[in-house]
Amino acid sequence: MEWKNIYRGILMGISDLIPGVSGGTIAFILGIYDRLLESISGFFSRDWKKQLGFLVPLGMGIVITLLLFSRFIEFLLDNHYEATQFFFMGLILGVLPYIMKQADVKKNFTARHLIILLVIGAALASMAFIQTDENVAPITELSVPTFFLLFFSGWIASMAMLLPGISGSFILLLIGVYSTAINALSTLNLPVVMAIGAGVIVGFIVSSKAISYLLEHFTYVTYAAIIGLILGSLFVVFPGFSADPMTLATSLVTFMVGLLFTLWFSSPKKTDITSEHNVEA
């Protein structure tokens, strides 16, 4: 068992609780993104036992975080919203140098890749202007319609979780079930958690195979899309500048902490993911 994956799962779990922050981005920061995709895909194959050593500790960290930190995240967002969002902006921005190095942007990107990057980044950034109702009453009891709503919400959100730059929580917020998910975790409403969780599992199966295929056959196009998603997510997470000097100063400090944290984690990684794939021109 790779027990150090517990702390990695904790970090991914925290990010998955925050609308606008992607668990896939955290996996990139920690240098386990490619391994994560391979392990999820491999778990649903004949070699599933080989993946347990990687996935079980990671899953334990994620589950522990979702159960223990859901109320803490609610507290931070309610009482220190700007500082919390700036911290995650730092995390997101700090991963870009690592991904650009992995893709060797100067050597491999053409005008086509830049156009893809800009279009996808602009499309995601436009979501910052979508008004979401964060005060929707949570679903606490299941019926057939609400089960399918939560199942497909979990499916769509989990596909977003694996893509750097797209937040599964933000997708839940757009659909209108984010408050339901947070409430279910904080109150241990198991039927609701299981309905969303079933959708998440199906989404992981589908999206991990799809992303692995794209990285293998369309490596630099996929990297261009990922960089665009990360840049676009900055606009989604950005809370604006506070008029209060203390809040602004605190936000700048948390931004730098997040940025330095990401750079510290990503800089030692030597493995070049693109070398593991058949790369398109």
Note whether residue 274 is domain-resident.
no
Considering its fold, how many domains does the chain have in total? 1
Are 226 and 99 in contact by the 8 Å Cβ rule? The answer is yes
Note whether residue 134 is domain-resident.
yes
Q: What are the Cα distances from residue 14, in Å, to 1, 18, 35, 66, 74?
A: 22, 7, 20, 7, 11
Tell me how far apart the alpha carbons of residues 167 and 238 are, in angstroms, rounded to a whole number.
14
Note whether residue 277 is domain-resident.
no
> Over 80: is that where the pLDDT of 117 sits?
yes
Are 205 and 44 in contact by the 8 Å Cβ rule? The answer is yes
Write out pLDDT tens, residues 239-273. Answer: 889 889 999 999 999 999 988 887 876 665 444 44
Average pLDDT on 143-169 reads 85
**Which residue type sits at 245?**
P
Note whether residue 273 is domain-resident.
no
Note whether residue 13 is domain-resident.
yes
pTM: 0.73
Note whether residue 58 is domain-resident.
yes
Note whether residue 271 is domain-resident.
no
Note whether residue 159 is domain-resident.
yes
> Over 80: is that where the pLDDT of 183 sits?
yes
> What is the domain extent for residue 34?
4-265
Tell me how far apart the alpha carbons of residues 20 and 278 are, in angstroms, rounded to a whole number.
31
> Over 50: is that where the pLDDT of 130 sits?
yes
Write out pLDDT tens, residues 57-100. Answer: 998 998 888 888 877 877 887 788 899 889 888 877 887 887 88
Question: Would you tell me how many other CB atoms lie within 10 Å of the CB of residue 79?
Answer: 9
